[in-house]
Protein backbone atom coordinates (compact mmCIF):
# COMPACT_ATOMS: atom_id res chain seq x y z
CA UNK A 1 0.00 0.00 0.00
CA UNK A 2 2.81 2.40 0.88
CA UNK A 3 4.38 1.77 -2.51
CA UNK A 4 1.22 2.74 -4.38
CA UNK A 5 0.77 5.87 -2.28
CA UNK A 6 4.40 6.90 -2.88
CA UNK A 7 4.07 6.36 -6.64
CA UNK A 8 0.84 8.39 -6.79
CA UNK A 9 2.50 11.26 -4.90
CA UNK A 10 5.55 11.14 -7.18
CA UNK A 11 3.34 11.28 -10.30
CA UNK A 12 1.34 14.15 -8.84
CA UNK A 13 4.49 16.09 -7.92
CA UNK A 14 5.87 15.53 -11.43
CA UNK A 15 2.74 16.95 -13.05
CA UNK A 16 2.72 19.94 -10.71
CA UNK A 17 6.40 20.64 -11.39
CA UNK A 18 5.91 20.89 -15.15
CA UNK A 19 5.15 24.51 -14.36
CA UNK A 20 8.46 25.69 -12.82
CA UNK A 21 6.63 28.36 -10.84
CA UNK A 22 5.10 25.52 -8.84
CA UNK A 23 8.40 23.79 -8.05
CA UNK A 24 8.17 25.21 -4.55
CA UNK A 25 5.23 22.83 -4.04
CA UNK A 26 6.34 20.05 -6.38
CA UNK A 27 9.78 19.39 -4.92
CA UNK A 28 8.65 18.86 -1.29
CA UNK A 29 5.83 16.65 -2.55
CA UNK A 30 8.31 14.66 -4.64
CA UNK A 31 10.57 14.15 -1.59
CA UNK A 32 7.59 12.94 0.45
CA UNK A 33 6.69 10.50 -2.31
CA UNK A 34 10.25 9.18 -2.41
CA UNK A 35 10.34 8.66 1.36
CA UNK A 36 7.04 6.78 1.36
CA UNK A 37 8.16 4.66 -1.62
CA UNK A 38 11.51 3.81 0.04
CA UNK A 39 9.70 2.65 3.17
CA UNK A 40 7.52 0.31 1.12
CA UNK A 41 8.11 -3.32 0.21
CA UNK A 42 8.59 -2.56 -3.51
CA UNK A 43 11.70 -4.08 -5.14
CA UNK A 44 14.74 -1.77 -5.22
CA UNK A 45 14.66 -1.75 -9.03
CA UNK A 46 11.06 -0.48 -9.03
CA UNK A 47 11.95 2.18 -6.48
CA UNK A 48 14.89 3.44 -8.56
CA UNK A 49 12.79 3.57 -11.73
CA UNK A 50 10.08 5.67 -10.06
CA UNK A 51 12.62 7.97 -8.43
CA UNK A 52 14.94 8.55 -11.42
CA UNK A 53 12.43 8.61 -14.30
CA UNK A 54 10.68 11.85 -13.24
CA UNK A 55 14.05 13.55 -12.75
CA UNK A 56 15.23 12.53 -16.23
CA UNK A 57 11.95 13.41 -17.96
CA UNK A 58 11.24 16.70 -16.16
CA UNK A 59 13.13 19.10 -18.45
CA UNK A 60 11.91 17.77 -21.83
CA UNK A 61 8.35 17.43 -20.53
CA UNK A 62 8.47 20.95 -19.08
CA UNK A 63 9.39 22.31 -22.53
CA UNK A 64 6.60 20.23 -24.10
CA UNK A 65 4.15 21.58 -21.50
CA UNK A 66 5.02 25.19 -22.33
CA UNK A 67 4.86 24.51 -26.06
CA UNK A 68 1.40 22.98 -25.79
CA UNK A 69 0.15 25.69 -23.45
CA UNK A 70 1.48 28.40 -25.78
CA UNK A 71 -0.04 26.77 -28.85
CA UNK A 72 -3.43 26.22 -27.23
CA UNK A 73 -3.36 29.62 -25.51
CA UNK A 74 -2.57 31.50 -28.71
CA UNK A 75 -5.20 29.58 -30.70
CA UNK A 76 -7.93 30.35 -28.18
CA UNK A 77 -6.82 33.92 -27.34
CA UNK A 78 -8.70 37.04 -28.38
CA UNK A 79 -7.84 37.70 -32.03
CA UNK A 80 -7.06 41.32 -32.84
CA UNK A 81 -5.98 43.05 -36.05
CA UNK A 82 -4.54 46.50 -35.35
CA UNK A 83 -4.56 48.68 -38.47
CA UNK A 84 -2.41 51.82 -38.52
CA UNK A 85 -2.28 54.74 -40.97
CA UNK A 86 0.31 54.32 -43.70
CA UNK A 87 2.87 56.78 -42.28
CA UNK A 88 2.23 56.21 -38.58
CA UNK A 89 5.26 56.10 -36.27
CA UNK A 90 5.54 56.29 -32.51
CA UNK A 91 3.26 55.30 -29.67
CA UNK A 92 -0.35 54.21 -29.98
CA UNK A 93 -2.78 53.48 -27.19
CA UNK A 94 -6.04 51.55 -27.20
CA UNK A 95 -8.60 52.31 -24.48
CA UNK A 96 -11.14 49.54 -24.01
CA UNK A 97 -14.83 49.62 -23.05
CA UNK A 98 -15.39 53.22 -24.10
CA UNK A 99 -19.12 54.01 -24.57
CA UNK A 100 -18.45 56.46 -27.42
CA UNK A 101 -15.60 54.44 -28.89
CA UNK A 102 -15.15 52.66 -32.20
CA UNK A 103 -17.72 49.96 -32.86
CA UNK A 104 -16.65 46.32 -32.72
CA UNK A 105 -16.03 45.02 -36.22
CA UNK A 106 -15.20 41.37 -36.78
CA UNK A 107 -13.77 40.01 -40.03
CA UNK A 108 -12.81 36.34 -40.31
CA UNK A 109 -13.23 35.93 -36.55
CA UNK A 110 -10.76 38.76 -35.83
CA UNK A 111 -11.62 42.13 -34.26
CA UNK A 112 -10.54 45.07 -36.42
CA UNK A 113 -9.01 47.97 -34.46
CA UNK A 114 -8.37 50.98 -36.68
CA UNK A 115 -5.87 53.32 -35.07
CA UNK A 116 -6.44 57.02 -35.89
CA UNK A 117 -3.74 59.48 -36.90
CA UNK A 118 -3.26 60.71 -33.33
CA UNK A 119 -2.55 57.15 -32.16
CA UNK A 120 -5.37 57.09 -29.57
CA UNK A 121 -8.19 54.64 -30.15
CA UNK A 122 -11.25 54.66 -27.92
CA UNK A 123 -12.73 51.20 -28.39
CA UNK A 124 -16.09 49.81 -27.32
CA UNK A 125 -14.74 46.29 -27.06
CA UNK A 126 -12.90 44.69 -24.17
CA UNK A 127 -9.19 43.90 -24.50
CA UNK A 128 -8.78 40.59 -22.72
CA UNK A 129 -5.65 39.67 -20.79
CA UNK A 130 -3.66 36.47 -21.26
CA UNK A 131 -2.16 35.03 -24.42
CA UNK A 132 -1.83 37.34 -27.42
CA UNK A 133 -3.02 36.60 -30.93
CA UNK A 134 -2.48 39.94 -32.63
CA UNK A 135 -1.65 40.99 -36.17
CA UNK A 136 -0.48 44.45 -37.14
CA UNK A 137 -0.90 46.27 -40.44
CA UNK A 138 -0.41 49.61 -42.13
CA UNK A 139 -3.01 50.64 -44.67
CA UNK A 140 -2.55 53.05 -47.54
CA UNK A 141 -5.14 55.37 -49.10
CA UNK A 142 -6.16 52.66 -51.57
CA UNK A 143 -6.90 50.25 -48.75
CA UNK A 144 -3.87 48.03 -49.33
CA UNK A 145 -2.55 46.48 -46.12
CA UNK A 146 1.09 45.76 -45.34
CA UNK A 147 1.85 43.62 -42.29
CA UNK A 148 4.15 45.11 -39.66
CA UNK A 149 6.69 42.68 -38.16
CA UNK A 150 6.64 42.24 -34.39
CA UNK A 151 9.72 43.17 -32.37
CA UNK A 152 11.03 42.47 -28.86
CA UNK A 153 14.35 43.18 -27.15
CA UNK A 154 15.36 39.51 -26.97
CA UNK A 155 15.49 39.40 -30.78
CA UNK A 156 18.52 41.70 -30.67
CA UNK A 157 20.60 39.75 -28.15
CA UNK A 158 24.08 38.86 -29.40
CA UNK A 159 23.33 35.14 -29.33
CA UNK A 160 20.02 35.51 -31.20
CA UNK A 161 19.65 33.78 -34.54
CA UNK A 162 18.50 35.91 -37.49
CA UNK A 163 18.90 39.14 -35.53
CA UNK A 164 16.79 41.87 -37.24
CA UNK A 165 18.31 45.00 -38.73
CA UNK A 166 18.10 47.70 -36.04
CA UNK A 167 17.10 50.31 -38.61
CA UNK A 168 14.08 48.36 -39.87
CA UNK A 169 10.72 49.39 -38.45
CA UNK A 170 8.58 46.99 -36.44
CA UNK A 171 5.93 47.01 -33.74
CA UNK A 172 6.64 46.64 -30.04
CA UNK A 173 4.28 45.88 -27.17
CA UNK A 174 4.80 48.75 -24.72
CA UNK A 175 2.62 47.46 -21.92
CA UNK A 176 -0.77 48.24 -20.53
CA UNK A 177 -2.83 48.35 -17.40
CA UNK A 178 -5.45 50.43 -15.63
CA UNK A 179 -5.28 54.12 -14.82
CA UNK A 180 -7.22 55.85 -12.10
CA UNK A 181 -6.78 59.56 -11.56
CA UNK A 182 -9.42 61.02 -9.17
CA UNK A 183 -10.65 64.59 -9.51
CA UNK A 184 -13.67 66.64 -8.33
CA UNK A 185 -15.64 65.64 -11.46
CA UNK A 186 -15.43 61.95 -10.75
CA UNK A 187 -11.96 61.09 -11.99
CA UNK A 188 -10.53 59.18 -14.90
CA UNK A 189 -10.63 55.42 -14.82
CA UNK A 190 -9.76 53.28 -17.82
CA UNK A 191 -7.94 50.19 -19.03
CA UNK A 192 -5.44 50.52 -21.84
CA UNK A 193 -2.82 48.80 -23.95
CA UNK A 194 0.14 50.54 -25.59
CA UNK A 195 1.99 49.78 -28.81
CA UNK A 196 4.99 51.37 -30.44
CA UNK A 197 5.94 51.47 -34.12
CA UNK A 198 9.64 52.16 -34.38
CA UNK A 199 12.97 50.78 -35.44
CA UNK A 200 15.23 49.47 -32.69
CA UNK A 201 17.66 52.36 -33.05
CA UNK A 202 14.86 54.93 -32.56
CA UNK A 203 13.21 53.52 -29.45
CA UNK A 204 14.61 56.15 -27.09
CA UNK A 205 13.08 58.91 -29.18
CA UNK A 206 9.56 57.58 -28.66
CA UNK A 207 10.07 56.61 -25.02
CA UNK A 208 11.00 60.17 -24.09
CA UNK A 209 9.18 61.30 -20.93
CA UNK A 210 7.79 64.51 -22.47
CA UNK A 211 6.25 62.80 -25.49
CA UNK A 212 4.82 60.01 -23.30
CA UNK A 213 3.35 62.54 -20.89
CA UNK A 214 1.81 64.49 -23.77
CA UNK A 215 0.13 61.36 -25.13
CA UNK A 216 -1.14 60.56 -21.64
CA UNK A 217 -2.68 64.02 -21.18
CA UNK A 218 -4.45 63.88 -24.55
CA UNK A 219 -5.72 60.38 -23.75
CA UNK A 220 -7.06 61.46 -20.37
CA UNK A 221 -8.85 64.38 -21.99
CA UNK A 222 -10.48 62.23 -24.68
CA UNK A 223 -11.56 59.61 -22.15
CA UNK A 224 -13.07 62.25 -19.87
CA UNK A 225 -15.01 63.84 -22.73
CA UNK A 226 -16.26 60.46 -23.86
CA UNK A 227 -17.51 59.50 -20.41
CA UNK A 228 -19.10 62.90 -19.79
CA UNK A 229 -21.18 62.43 -22.96
CA UNK A 230 -22.63 59.31 -21.50
Predicted pLDDT at 120: 94
**How many C-alpha atoms does 172 have within 13 Å on its Cβ side?**
24
Dump pLDDT digits (tens) for 178-227: 887 766 665 678 889 999 999 888 888 887 777 788 888 889 888 888 87
Give me the residue spans of the domains in the chain: 2-75, 78-229
The percentage of residues in the chain with a pLDDT greater than 70, rounded to a whole number, is 97
For the question of whether the overall pTM of this predicted structure is more than 0.85, the answer is no
Calculate the dihedral angle through the C-alpha atoms of 15, 17, 19, 21, rounding to the nearest 10 degrees: 150
* DSSP string across the chain: -HHHHHHHHHHHHHHHHTSGGGHHHHHHHHHHHHHHHHTSS--HHHHHHHHHHHHHHHHHHHHHHHHHHHHHHHHHSPEEEEEEETT--EEEEEE-S-TTSBPP-EETTEEEEE--TTSEEEBSS----SS-EEEEEEE-TT--EEEPPEE-GGGGSTT-TTPPPTTSEEEEEEEEEEEEE--TT--EEEEEEEEEEEEGGGHHHHT-HHHHHHHHHHHHHHHHHHHHH-
Provide the pLDDT for residue 230.
64
- Give the pLDDT mean for 78-82: 93
% of the chain beyond a pLDDT of 90:
45
Write out pLDDT tens, residues 83-127: 999 999 999 999 999 988 899 999 999 999 999 999 999 999 998
Mean pLDDT for the stretch of residues 35-64 = 91
Amino acid sequence: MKGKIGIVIIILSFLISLNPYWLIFGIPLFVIGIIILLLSQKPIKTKLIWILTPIILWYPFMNLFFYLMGTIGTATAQKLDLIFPENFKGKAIVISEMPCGEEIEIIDNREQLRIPENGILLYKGNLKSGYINNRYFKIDKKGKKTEIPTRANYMYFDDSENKPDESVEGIWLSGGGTKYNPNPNGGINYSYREFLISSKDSLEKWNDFKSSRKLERITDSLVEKCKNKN
